[in-house]
Chains A and B, each alone.
Chain A
Amino acid sequence: MNYVMSFLVGGLICLVGQIIIDTFKKNNAYLLVMMVVTGCILGFFGLYDKLVEIGHSGATVPLLGFGNSLAKGAMEEAANKGFMGALSGGVIRTAPGVAAALIFGYIVAVIFNPHGDK
């Protein structure tokens, strides 16, 4: 059941993303920024956790989930450490994913060569 819900919820979030791309015809970077900020807002109001309960990875894998983690990390740390926690909480919570992207990205750049014609 979790697998079905992951597929459905993840698919739906991507479908919304596709509608945004096709309607506004903007660079993908706009979509990514929008997703993360929206995830943050939903996370702040505690709404996104409800979606995670239903959709599991379908909700955590899309960038909305990244935004949600950011917000939750910042809020939890802020409760413990105040201002400094608000500053660092989100960064700490999401650091593995970001560091992985950076480091893997560099390794890939060292090993592979860019491909041209599609």
Chain B
Amino acid sequence: MKKTGKTFIIKDDVIIRDTYTIVGNKEGQGPLKNKFDMVIDDDLWGEDSWEKCELKMQRTAVENLKNKNNLINDNIDLLISGDLLNQITSSSFAARDLELPYIGVYGACSTMTLTMGLGAMLIDGGFAENIICVTSSHFCSAERQYRLPLEMGGQRHMSAQWTVTGSAAIWLSNSGKGPKIKHVTFGKIVDLGVKDANNMGAAMAPAAYDSLNQHLQDTGVDYDLIVTGDLGTIGKGIVNKMFNEENKSIESKYDDCGTIIFDIEKQDVHAGGSGCGCSAAVFGSFLYKKLLNNEIKKLLFTSTGALHSPTANLQGESIPGIAHCLGIEV
């Protein structure tokens, strides 16, 4: 079995060949502004609703990734995608236009590593040669589905996070050059009873700790950089605390995409970024370029998801967290 503990070992080459990122206006003004492939100027991008804008981002990310690398549909075996909206609307509707064999997955904000992990295993298993993984989120469409209408006056709590408007498409292949996915750990759901929908970081942190701990224990790899998806300042602090208490501190090499993508003070995002697009956009631009430039050689990339359901929440349920880890090495 290609497995150690709970972690799958990717024995053959699974190469992250290229990425394409599209982000919204606010993200485009953040600290990573020069790293993205495309920045859109408004929240509609010529479409007549935010949901349509989100699916256009996803579709364009894939199309531009294909064009950039002269890929044609015949060479692509599979499209794996997911997003935050009900019925994973953006993904399915983008896939309708892309005319590729399609697997839609839902992992809330953990979707990026979930799709990449699945893709890596399918390629390693010999079922596919080229797979495109894509995910997206949009501040407005997510906010109206999960919280309140945007025109409603009122204050966001200090623990709230800002859903990233963005999409990233990743090309995985069994040939060529680039960073390789070596290990995949799919996390289990951990729920320590956080019910506050305005504090997703705290809801996801235990799951992130659990998956990271599992992955580090299973593989024993000494990573240069460990990155989680969208824990924000609160979740990041809690993860650090949990590792410190076990005397396995990762503080010096640990960061979180939610705190990388925005300038937390200046951009008024409270606890940081969140959403599928958060870890996707940061990985597709900033982290991937670092890997290409050999600035980091071993990256542990973990997207974290809060499997929050407004309906279940109103019925008194808490918010289950999940995190999937990818061990990526140059």
Establish whether A and B are touching in the complex (CB under 8 Å).
yes
> B151, A115: Cβ atoms under 8 Å?
yes
Count chain B residues whose beta carbon lies closer than 8 angstroms to a beta carbon of A: 20
Does B152 belong to the interface (CB within 8 Å)? yes
Question: In the bound complex, what is the Cα–Cα distance between A47 and B256 (angstroms)?
Answer: 54
> A25, B151: Cβ atoms under 8 Å?
no
Looking at the assembled complex, report how far the CB atom of A25 sits from the nearest CB atom of chain B, in whole angstroms: 6
Give residues of chain B (143-160) contacting chain A, Cβ–Cβ below 8 Å: 148-152, 154-155, 157
Does B139 belong to the interface (CB within 8 Å)? yes
Does B44 belong to the interface (CB within 8 Å)? yes
Q: Please, what's the 1-or-0 string for A75-118, where 1 marks a CB less than 8 Å from any CB in chain B?
A: 00000000000000000000000000000000000000011111
For B196, give its contact among A25, A114, A115, A118 (CB under 8 Å). A25
> B140, A117: Cβ atoms under 8 Å?
yes
Question: In the bound complex, what is the Cα–Cα distance between A61 and B148 (angstroms)?
Answer: 24
Count chain A residues whose beta carbon lies closer than 8 angstroms to a beta carbon of B: 9
Question: In the bound complex, what is the Cα–Cα distance between A114 and B148 (angstroms)?
Answer: 13
For A116, give its contact among B140, B154, B196 (CB under 8 Å). B140
For B198, give its contact among A25, A114, A115 (CB under 8 Å). A25
Give residues of chain B (22-58) contacting chain A, Cβ–Cβ below 8 Å: 24-26, 42-44, 50
Label chain A's interface by main secondary structure. loop
> B26, A25: Cβ atoms under 8 Å?
no
Nearest A residue to B48 via CB reads A113
Question: In the bound complex, what is the Cα–Cα distance between A116 and B149 (angstroms)?
Answer: 10
> A117, B198: Cβ atoms under 8 Å?
no
Nearest A residue to B140 via CB reads A116
Question: In the bound complex, what is the Cα–Cα distance between A116 and B26 (angstroms)?
Answer: 12
Does A2 belong to the interface (CB within 8 Å)? no
Q: How many A-B residue pairs have CB under 8 A?
A: 29
Looking at the assembled complex, report how far the CB atom of A111 sits from the nearest CB atom of chain B, in whole angstroms: 13
Contacts of A21 in B (CB 8 A): 155
> A114, B152: Cβ atoms under 8 Å?
no
Give residues of chain B (171-208) contacting chain A, Cβ–Cβ below 8 Å: 196, 198
Question: In the bound complex, what is the Cα–Cα distance between A115 and B150 (angstroms)?
Answer: 7
Looking at the assembled complex, report how far the CB atom of B245 sits from the nearest CB atom of chain A, in whole angstroms: 27
For B43, give its contact among A25, A27, A28, A116 (CB under 8 Å). A116
Nearest B residue to A18 via CB reads B155
> A25, B157: Cβ atoms under 8 Å?
yes
Question: In the bound complex, what is the Cα–Cα distance between A117 and B151 (angstroms)?
Answer: 10
Q: A25-B157, A25-B196 are in contact. Are A116 and B150 (CB under 8 A)?
A: yes
Nearest A residue to B154 via CB reads A28
Question: In the bound complex, what is the Cα–Cα distance between A28 and B147 (angstroms)?
Answer: 11
Question: In the bound complex, what is the Cα–Cα distance between A118 and B143 (angstroms)?
Answer: 12
> B157, A116: Cβ atoms under 8 Å?
no
Contacts of A25 in B (CB 8 A): 157, 196, 198
Question: In the bound complex, what is the Cα–Cα distance between A21 and B158 (angstroms)?
Answer: 13
> B148, A27: Cβ atoms under 8 Å?
yes
Q: A25-B196, A25-B198, A27-B148 are in contact. Are A117 and B139 (CB under 8 A)?
A: yes
Nearest B residue to A27 via CB reads B148
Contacts of B154 in A (CB 8 A): 28
Question: In the bound complex, what is the Cα–Cα distance between A38 and B165 (angstroms)?
Answer: 41
> A114, B25: Cβ atoms under 8 Å?
no
Contacts of B25 in A (CB 8 A): 117
Contacts of B196 in A (CB 8 A): 25
> A116, B198: Cβ atoms under 8 Å?
no
> B152, A28: Cβ atoms under 8 Å?
yes
Q: A25-B196, A28-B154 are in contact. Are A117 and B148 (CB under 8 A)?
A: no
> A118, B148: Cβ atoms under 8 Å?
no
Cβ contacts A to B, 7 pairs, < 8 Å: A21-B155, A25-B196, A28-B148, A115-B150, A115-B151, A116-B150, A117-B24
Q: A116-B44, A117-B140 are known; give 20 further A-B pairs, CB within 8 A.
A: A21-B155, A25-B157, A25-B198, A27-B148, A28-B148, A28-B152, A114-B149, A114-B150, A115-B150, A115-B151, A116-B43, A116-B50, A116-B140, A116-B150, A117-B25, A117-B26, A117-B42, A117-B43, A117-B139, A118-B150
The 8 closest A-B pairs by CB, nearest first: A116-B43, A116-B140, A28-B154, A117-B43, A117-B26, A25-B157, A116-B150, A116-B50
